Amino acid sequence: MRHLHTRTNPYTYTRARDIVPPCGASGTPPPPGPSRASASAPATAASAAPAAPARPPTPSPTCAPPPQARHLPDRAPQQRPPTLRPFLPGQRAEVAAEPGPVANMALIPCQVLRVAILLSYCSILCNYKAIEMPAHKTYGGSWKFLTFIDLVIQAVFFGICVLTDLSSLLTRGSSNQEQERQLKKLISLRDWILAVLAFPVGVFVVTVFWSIYIYDREMVYPKLLDNFIPAWLNHGMHTTVLPFILIEMRTSHHQYPSRSCGLAAVCTFAVGYILWVCWVHHVTGIWVYPLLEHIGPGAKIAFFGIATVLMNLLYLLGEVLNNYIWDTQRTCFPTWQGIYS
């Protein structure tokens, strides 16, 4: 009776064919269960056999509920990473995402600025030469004054800058090797003039003139000159030189020569001008600057030596300033082959 109760009790015995696979189970039918004849075996034999572990149901793509749609936030259109465009000679490197006429137009303000500075120097030189001063009619004329020499240097330098900009625009995209070679020569000449002459001489004129002027203007710029030179022309010769040269260094990268060659060139210019001043005094008997009339021979030698050392220090200052502005210690500027390839 116990055996029959176990076989017929629905809670202890269930036929395999009556098992309905749940939703998501595999579609293959399970293996057939034991027949009623085999189920009539003694309960001890059925309980002795180990039961096989049940396999987890495999989810079915047709029966599984569809995943809930997730709301994704709107994304901005993917942009191309910015690329460093090789800059033309005399122009600052610019970062732009897409090349185009707008990026090319960024070169025009620097060119216009150089043209304006060049025209201002030409105006200053013309107005200065038009002044009827007794010193202009003596031996050496205006060329014995370092201020006039500096104005000529600045005008020549910015003239070469404008010529370089025009050549760069005209030869842009050209494969003519001869034009590229001439352009490289112009750029090398421009950088050399800035490093050796334009920056050290210009800053020297501004600093030394105003230092002596504040101490005693009669030693360098007597009040008598106010009758000949207007105030705006005086500032054009002794003040605007410094901001103009700083603007040029800020807007363009310049390749300095080797330090030994640069210092040698600066010393050559300084010694040459000192010898020229001494020669003018030897011919006319009058010193170019009234300051030299009030000091003795030893003080003159010390003054000339200090002036030469100061000009060399200004050359080093220009080199350091150029490297600081353009960060040449960490940034590799593109080569000419990369620019014009």
Within 8 A by CB and 6+ apart from 18, the residues are: none
Work out the average pLDDT over 15-35: 49
Q: Using alpha carbons only, what angle is made at residue 192 by residues 191 and 198, rounded to the nearest 5 degrees?
A: 85
pLDDT > 80? residue 49: no
Around Cβ 255, how many Cβ atoms within 10 Å? 14
Which residue reads 């090789």 in tokens? 86
244, 218, 308, 140 alpha-carbon torsion, rounded to 10° = 80
H/E segment holding residue 261: helix 259-284
By mean pLDDT, which of 95-99, 212-216, 276-280, 301-305 is the weakest? 95-99
The β-bridge partners of 95 are 84
Q: Is 171 helix (H, G, I), strand (E, B) or coil?
A: coil
pLDDT band at 79 (very low <50, low <70, confident <90, very high): low
145 near 288, Cβ under 8 Å?
yes
The predicted-structure confidence for 159-194, as pLDDT tens digits, reads as follows 999 999 998 888 877 777 887 888 899 999 999 999
pLDDT > 50? residue 279: yes
pLDDT > 80? residue 102: no
Residue 116 CA, distance from chain mean position? 24
Rounded Cα distance, 38 and 15, in Å:
12
Burial class (CB in 10 A: 0-12, 13-18, 19+), 13: middle
What is the DSSP code (8-state) at residue 72?
P
